[in-house]
Structure 1
């Protein structure tokens, strides 16, 4: 039985022939709904480069975790705690601020001391001051290549690059290998020769080892110790190779008493390479330099090259918090929020730093630019109320300023939330957009994008309280103005109690009044736009129109069955029209096919009115 036939089978015997034919229908897949972009200041991370993270642990690795001056970090933390599963982070800093930590590695091979390799932290920030690099020559070609390791502030090895060369024609050219593979550092060749190894490196031993029955004095930092290198009564056979000598010396060093709290002797490493040995203290403290003192050490060649156990990166400076222009960024350079233009799946946008702006005009400038981006990229913006809104009266007085930016691709939330700061253990106020993004992600996952992210199910996970406790009456003053209120109710605690867009003011009477209606439309638009890409360059005729109607109707029917649309039948819930009426002969001549899609979204039950009537008489039981 042919399984992939492309044409009719050629019959050769009487019987039934079965062929598999490709389906003419094409599936439209639903796109993501709650991937949230956070743009602003973080402790570390690549500048103006969108990075996708799927948990707060990954955010900590890439962007340094929580920082007292990073509203974005706390927002991301609240997002994942509240139910979020994927986020896109764009680190932004004030233009011209910030500096990457660095160290210059030098070489003394066969020439006067000179710079050979500049090592910089991958990104600007104080975080880079905790990085350390170590160099050794323990490679298959110890006279030509080297290894480089990167440590963090805790002394843990984070990255290792082996068999490196400073020859630009070599397959393991150090700048090429490190810059392509490291997440922590970048390097630049600035001279000739290899960087000197870490620790103390001996001179080359001859074909035979010298007399090892000598007393040595070693000093690491401020601690000085004496020991016998080889004692025939205790150390067995005398070492006859450089490798055996390295093992003996390492064992002797590790047996020496350390300074209190130190691990310099106990963790000492002695590495053989070629006819030489390298001695490194078991510490990542640059002050713990291994020094062998006296004539015996000189006779053994242990004073040839003395360096610290690691080379510390220094001079890193955090960038200042971004201003309005930095956040808006440049479309040409893809900076600030404009960096999101190259990201395919972003559905929500949070800018938590705006709430702390002293000037409302600066905040509105960024909100206006963000809304333009959201309209172009089908993103929904979560706007935090200014931190100066400390009461219902200040909110009512300040909301008039938002009349200039009342778009339907954004929603405004008030008041701020209060949580225990993990860094201090104290209660602290935060902009709510990160927590609200988590609520939206959780609601989308459990109910669907058409469900309003508000109500008793929209609890703010981990939130202790709100900066302003609103009553029903006070909420009733703000809700008609398009302000989504956060409320605290008995038993349920803090939750979202509003689902209007910025265009949801009663005075505007917009068809995009509600958040779920707007977000459902964006979801449908994006799914259809991607799912109908195959139409391009197909013959523009009735056959194509029929396939479009079939694909789009199948997708919309799936949403209808899930409860996305109102109506008891598909005809009442949606329609797809693509025929000679939508696509005229003139359109066909111009290479245009028009598809008309209509949906009947479910609007939230914002006001529930209960009528109670007294009756007289008795009910029969």
Structure 2
């Protein structure tokens, strides 16, 4: 009877699919007690952190196209510029970490002056309010004022064929300074790295939105050689610098437009006395209408 019941139960499992992948049927030859060994079940739902908080809003600097995870106020200050009375987001993040928060996702919202102007015009409003209070060099409407930010709000730094830009929008980019040098570089260095003669250089990048807390990046053995790999200037800056990007690319191919060895020599000599500095950065317009950040492509 037991054997018949066990066999019947097994046949039912096979017919219904219940337990078919879980049980190993015994070899039943005569009445008795049989042990059925179950195969390991799939793992349970893994534990996931439940204390990650998302913050969305204004920041002094930082990427605008993707949220980033920060795990301390120091991380936030490094990536997004720290505390500012003009950025309520920064105060919220500080309170979060002061009260035991461990992980936060930061999404920086930004609308450039030109974008704000276009949206306001479409809505029938006047000129957009600038996000940052105007000053002597950024009062765009003042009589005789010639300064106007870049359309995308990203500061540019240039000297002849050398064209650089800030990594992301904001007036912080106007506080960037860059010097070129060839200290420690010679023909042996170029040969060892396999790059063309006269294309290697070093960079010193200083970011000082707060004059009392300048931040400096120092990079060695960057190259203008178009055949180089990760050390080619456009790739190197993208991978290694928080502050600086290459800004000359072919509109069709997308390949970088790289200056000559003579151009490099000229900028090395020029920046010995006068660093390249950023100009054209803008903190943009106020986010005072949903059209600035809600809609197709803005989710």
**Does the alignment reach a TM-score above 0.5?**
yes
Q: Which residue of 2 aligns with 1:84?
A: 101
* DSSP 3-state at the match of 2:247: strand
Aligned position for 2:77: 60
Determine if the alignment matches structure 1 residue 104 to structure 2 residue 158. yes
SS in 1 for 2:154: coil
Of 150, 158, 162, the match for 2:217? 158
Matched positions, count: 203
Out of 182, 189, 202, which is 1:147 matched to?
202
Residue in structure 2 matched with residue 320 of structure 1 by the alignment: 285
Aligned equivalent of 1:50: 67
Aligned equivalent of 1:125: 170
Q: Which residue number in structure 2 is paired with residue 192 of structure 1?
A: 259
Higher relative contact order (CA 8 A, sep 6+): 2
Q: Residues 104 and 116 of structure 1 are in contact (CA less than 8 Å); yes or no, is this contact kept in structure 2?
A: yes
- Write the distance in 2 (CA, Å) between the matches of 1:200 and 1:135: 5
For 2:161, what is the secondary structure of its paired residue?
strand
Cα contact 1:59–1:65 (8 A) shared by 2: yes
What secondary structure does 2:56 align onto?
A: strand
- Are residue 168 (structure 1) and residue 226 (structure 2) matched? yes
Taking the aligned partners of 1:34 and 1:327, their CA distance within structure 2 comes to: 29
Q: Counterparts of 1:34-49 in structure 2 under 5 Å? A: 34-49=51-66
Secondary structure at 1:118's aligned position in 2?
strand
Secondary structure (helix, strand or coil) at the match of 1:179 reads helix
Find the residue that maps to 1:58 and give its secondary structure: helix
* Matched residue, 2:137: none
Conservation of the 8 A alpha-carbon contact between 1:199 and 1:308: no
Is the contact between residue 198 and residue 307 of structure 1 (CA under 8 Å) also seen in structure 2? Answer: no
Q: 1:150 to 1:198 in 2, by over 3 A?
A: farther
Look at both structures and tell me which one has the larger radius of gyration over its CA atoms: 1
Paired with 1:199 and 1:118, the residues of 2 have a C-alpha distance of: 11
Distance between the aligned counterparts of 1:118 and 1:199, measured in 2?
11
Q: Is the 8 A contact 1:134 1:198 kept in 2?
A: no
Cα distance between partner residues in 2 of 1:50 and 1:306: 35
Kindly state the Cα deviation for residue 181 of structure 1 after the two structures are TM-superposed.
2.4
The superposition leaves residues 444-478 of structure 1 with CA deviations (integer Å, 9 ceiling, x where unpaired) of xxxxxxxxxxxxxxxxxxxxxxxxxxxxxxxxxxx
Question: Residues 198 and 309 of structure 1 are in contact (CA less than 8 Å); yes or no, is this contact kept in structure 2?
Answer: no
Task: Return the offset for 1:168.
Answer: 1.7
Other structure's SS at 2:107 match? strand
Shift of 1:125: 0.7
* Aligned partner of 1:178 among 225, 237, 241: 237
The TM-score with structure 2 as length reference comes to: 0.59
1:614 match: none
Q: Confirm or deny: 8 A CA contact 2:217 2:241 kept in the other structure.
A: no
1:325 to 1:33, Cα distance in 2 relative to 1, 3 A: same
Q: Secondary structure at the match of 1:37?
A: strand
- SS of corresponding position for 2:111: coil
- The answer (yes or no) to whether the contact 1:35–1:85 under 8 Å persists in 2 is yes
SS at match of 2:64: coil
Find the residue that maps to 1:77 and give its secondary structure: helix
Cα gap change, 1:57 to 1:29, in 2 (>3 Å)? same
Are the counterparts in 1 of residues 56 and 106 from structure 2 also a CA contact under 8 Å?
Answer: yes
State the superposition RMSD in angstroms. 3.0
Asked if structure 1 preserves the Cα contact closer than 8 Å seen for 2:156 and 2:165, the reply is: yes
Q: Does the CA contact (< 8 Å) of 2:179 and 2:205 recur in 1? A: yes
CA deviation map 1:538-568 (0-9, x unaligned): xxxxxxxxxxxxxxxxxxxxxxxxxxxxxxx
Match of 1:227 in 2: none
The answer to whether the 8 A contact 2:155-2:171 is kept is: yes
* C-alpha distance in structure 1 between counterparts of 2:97 and 2:291, whole Å: 26
Q: Deviation at 1:131?
A: 1.5
Secondary structure of the structure 2 residue equivalent to 1:60: helix
1:229-268 correspondence runs (5 A)? none
Note if contact 2:179-2:272 (Cα within 8 Å) is conserved in structure 1: no
For the pair 1:26 / 2:85, whether they are aligned, the reply is no
Separation in structure 1 between the aligned mates of residue 232 and residue 271 of structure 2, nearest angstrom: 26
Q: Distance in 2 between matches of 1:86 and 1:183?
A: 21
CA contact (8 A) 1:53 1:86 kept: yes
CA drift at 1:39: 0.9
Structure 2: which 5+ residue stretches go unaligned? 1-37, 117-151, 191-196, 249-256
**Alignment check: 8 A CA contact 2:182 2:268 kept:** no
Deviation for aligned residue 1:184: 0.9
Please give the TM-score of this superposition, normalised by the length of structure 1.
0.30
